[in-house]
């Protein structure tokens, strides 16, 4: 069978990643980092589209990649209404929801489907997205809040969390993902901590909604009282708070940077503020891992760490020291997002999996007594 060519595009909060695959083989991969200040100039997400497109085009031109040969362009996907996991065709409805960030989340992942669509139109190929951050597999216990009619929803790095769990199951546990129980973390520009049981992500944090640990670009969980006081003192409105949850919180708020390498260098050079900020983020990650281990009743086969910051040995050591009483900690520095996107598209092209159609109807829509 002809090995399909797949171009994967991954717009993240601190980077744009692009990779070309032929079958499972990665022919080319490149990452461009974006500092917070560079992205600040764009008032809306759609204003970032030409910048991200040009970033991708420049990389591909430099590498001499012939886009005419690509069978399918895959974007990361985002801005969508809560959906089942899987590979989806990019449709008009998906594009409309991505453009308007229909789920209320302003994050560059929503540019993924739009970029894939633009390239696919230009080169007569297919456009798809795989396991966007809007995948919802929560157990009912995780949906209830203390306010009637308000339900928890989550947005996290579903793509990398699931791929990491699938690979660890195959290569280390020698069992199917559906038979393993994990706490899986993605520690990047945003930080996802999630509980996986029987091949489903049954709980996790809404990392663009102000839940979970603080992260390079996110404020993470703070108390309602703290937030109300902050809003009063700073005359901050809803839009300011939303930005703190997705773009301007965490390292960006404290230090004006999202780069963990620079933050840790400042800490090493004796900046105690930078040092405490770094250690506090790790402490918050450890607390969230503990919570997800309790969701799994302590029966955890492994704690899996992925994402850019997992390249940092100190972070891995601190988490291992704090959490290995729960289960073995395994570090997968970087991510498998590009591989996961290519694999999802190829499974569909080879007929192993059906291409799903985005309905725009939430996968879960309230308890039956409501």
Ligand X SMILES: CCCC(=O)OP(=O)(O)O
Alpha helices, H only, the chain = 36-40, 45-63, 92-100, 111-123, 158-168, 224-234, 238-246, 250-255, 260-268, 272-295, 313-323, 337-349
**254 sits near ligand ADP (criterion: CB under 6 A):** no
Toward ligand X, which CB reaches closer, 56 or 109? 109
Instruction: Measure the CA–CA gap between 353 and 106, rounded to whole angstroms.
Output: 30
| Residue selected from 85, 204, 307, 344 as contacting ligand ADP according to rule CB under 6 A | 307
CB of 71 to ligand ADP, least distance (A): 25
Which among ligand ADP, ligand X, none contacts residue 311 (Cβ within 5 to 8 A by kind)? ligand ADP
CB of 38 to ligand ADP, least distance (A): 13
**260 sits near ligand ADP (criterion: CB under 6 A):** yes
**Binding to ligand ADP in span 11-30, by CB under 6 A:** 12-15
Q: Which stretch binds ligand X (CB under 6 A): 153-161, 193-201, 261-269, 358-366?
A: 153-161
Half-sphere exposure of 27 (CA within 13 A, CB side): 18
Residue 77 exposed, middle or buried by CB count within 10 Å (0-12, 13-18, 19+): buried
**Binding to ligand ADP in span 330-349, by CB under 6 A:** 335
Q: Residue 316 corresponds to which tokens in the numbers above?
A: 């891995």
Q: Residue 81 corresponds to which tokens in the numbers above?
A: 């209404």
- The residues that bridge with 20 in the sheet, in sequence order, are 7, 28
**309 sits near ligand ADP (criterion: CB under 6 A):** yes
Toward ligand ADP, which CB reaches closer, 333 or 362? 333
CB of 109 to ligand X, least distance (A): 5
**Phi-psi category of 250—alpha, beta or left, where left has phi over 0 and alpha has psi -120 to 50?**
left
Question: What does the binding site for ligand ADP look like in residue numbers (CB under 6 A)?
Answer: 12-15, 188-190, 216, 258-261, 307-309, 311-312, 335
Question: What does the binding site for ligand X look like in residue numbers (CB under 6 A)?
Answer: 12-13, 78, 107, 109, 133, 155-157, 188-190, 207-208
């Amino acid at each position: 069978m002809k090995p399909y060519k797949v171009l994967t595009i991954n717009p993240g909060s601190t980077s744009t990643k692009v990779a070309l695959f032929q079958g499972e083989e990665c022919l080319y991969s490149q990452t461009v980092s974006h500092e917070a200040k560079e992205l600040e100039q764009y008032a809306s997400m759609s204003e970032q589209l030409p910048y991200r497109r040009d970033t991708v085009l420049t990389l591909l031109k430099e590498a001499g990649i012939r886009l005419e040969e690509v069978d399918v362009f895959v974007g990361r996907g985002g801005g969508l209404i809560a959906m089942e996991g899987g590979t989806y065709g990019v449709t008009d409805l998906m594009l409309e929801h991505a453009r308007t960030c229909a789920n209320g989340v302003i994050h560059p992942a929503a540019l993924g489907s739009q970029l894939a669509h633009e390239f696919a139109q230009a080169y007569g190929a297919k456009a798809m997205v795989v396991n966007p951050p809007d995948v919802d597999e929560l157990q009912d216990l995780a949906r209830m809040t203390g306010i009637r009619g308000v339900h928890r929803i989550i947005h996290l790095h579903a793509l990398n969390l699931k791929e990491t769990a699938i690979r660890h199951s195959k290569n280390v546990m020698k069992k199917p993902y559906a038979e393993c129980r994990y706490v899986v973390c993605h520690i990047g520009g945003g930080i996802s901590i999630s509980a996986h049981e029987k091949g489903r992500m049954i709980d996790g944090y809404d990392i663009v909604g102000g839940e979970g640990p603080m992260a390079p670009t996110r404020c993470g969980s703070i108390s309602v009282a703290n937030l109300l006081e902050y809003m009063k003192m700073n005359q901050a409105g809803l839009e300011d708070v939303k930005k703190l949850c997705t773009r301007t919180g965490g390292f960006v708020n404290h230090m004006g940077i999202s780069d963990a390498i620079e933050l840790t260098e400042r800490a090493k050079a004796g900046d105690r503020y930078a040092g405490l900020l770094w250690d506090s983020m790790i402490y918050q990650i450890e607390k969230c891992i503990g919570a997800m281990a309790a969701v799994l009743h302590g029966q955890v086969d492994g704690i899996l760490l992925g994402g850019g910051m997992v390249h940092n040995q100190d972070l891995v050591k601190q988490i291992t020291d704090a959490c290995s009483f729960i289960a073995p900690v395994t570090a997968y520095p970087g991510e498998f997002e590009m591989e996961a996107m290519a694999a999802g598209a190829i499974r569909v092209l080879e007929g192993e999996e059906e291409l799903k159609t985005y309905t725009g109807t939430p996968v879960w829509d309230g308890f039956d007594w409501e």
